[in-house]
Structure 1
Amino acid sequence: MPNPVNKINWTPEQLKYMVEQHSKMTNSQLADTIGLKVTSVRTKLYEMGFYKMRLEYWTDEQVEFLKANYKTLGDTELAEIFNQKWHKDKGWDKKHIEKKRRYLVLKRTIDEKKAIHQRNVDLGCFSMCAVKAWKQRGVSPDGTIRFWKLGDSDRPVPHIKVNGKYIHWNRWFWEQNNGSIPDGHFIVFVGDTSILTIENLRCISVEDYKREFNEREVVNLSDGYVASMITFGNKELRMQVINMPDLITAKRTQLLINRKIKQHGTEQNRRS
């Protein structure tokens, strides 16, 4: 009797090969090796009881337990309870609980979330969070240098880890080479903050630092801002002044001179 259309006559050699190799090869690889479609190979493996991934579905009991307790217990704690009550080959974790809650539209109110958080605090659930995170990610050793931007500045500032804490690299490196920093002085970079050499550092007093900072702020004023100071809010005139670089430079110079005169007067008053 002829075979039905699309029916495959599996040979003993093919079946033996699939049984031996199904855990070592993908279904696509098996299909290519045997010379059949991947759907046929997958279906035959299922018939023989071999699965690449077997889904484990929620039972009615598990769903009812989730509905009864999600308002008072957090997802992590629920996952721990599920692991104790119901065995699952791959185990239960927080993601399984979250996904099922979203599917069932089981949302918590703000008050319920606060109550769960307080319960976790009372149970000490957060006391070891940092320690566990360090163990998982690894702790950077002393001497590690990191570049961070501080405040609104775009300049990355180097920090070095010393005795388990990050401190300013420039102050630390200066003291390693020149001893203690005098009171009322800063250690600043001469140029690029990524150049970590003693030649790129200098010790400067607080007064000099403020003066240089103020001068730098004036120099960094945008052309549009300087033009607006010249034109007193006249937009049309401001657009014309922006295209006059010599005038912009002259105004910046005037601002610097005015600031230096003011600082000189302040210093004279302090001395008197």
Structure 2
Amino acid sequence: MVVREDGIGRRWTEQEVALLTELYPLTPITELEAKVGKTAGQIKNKAANLGLKRDQSVSGATRFRPYPLGPSSHNWVEPGERRDDGRYIRVKLPSGKWVLEHRWVWEQANGPVPDDCVLVAEDGNIRNTTLANLKLVTKDEHCRRNQVRKYPTELQDVILAQQDLKRAIREKKS
């Protein structure tokens, strides 16, 4: 085996192994390189072969500057901030998750939306997220409402009223 001037290719001595075993769990790699006289790669390989583990407080440390998180980041958005994507308005929760504002408003007042239902806007504008404008309808009702949209607005109200009347009659019979 050829040994270079920087020590690469040199076998580990018993003293180096003992020093590595003692210092590896809590000492940063850069300090270990200086104390043991080996490269970071050699240290990590030897530690893996010996089954040594790093302490959690040190294992996250890197040579690189951590990416800034939180308000100091250039693209940070405060919780509660709203975004309008042209169709819906989304609001950022404290957890960091973005949710549809109309759905969030409904769920704060009435609890979760059931799986067989959807939220619709009474005035047809889902970006109007006031609670009075939101209505919970079944998915079947939602389909019927959307089929009616192809007719002129004068007929839409009449057709929807007729459907409501038919549904009320069916429920009365059963």
TM-score, scaled to structure 2: 0.43
Bigger fraction of residues in helix: 1
Bigger Rg over Cα: 1
TM-score, scaled to structure 1: 0.29
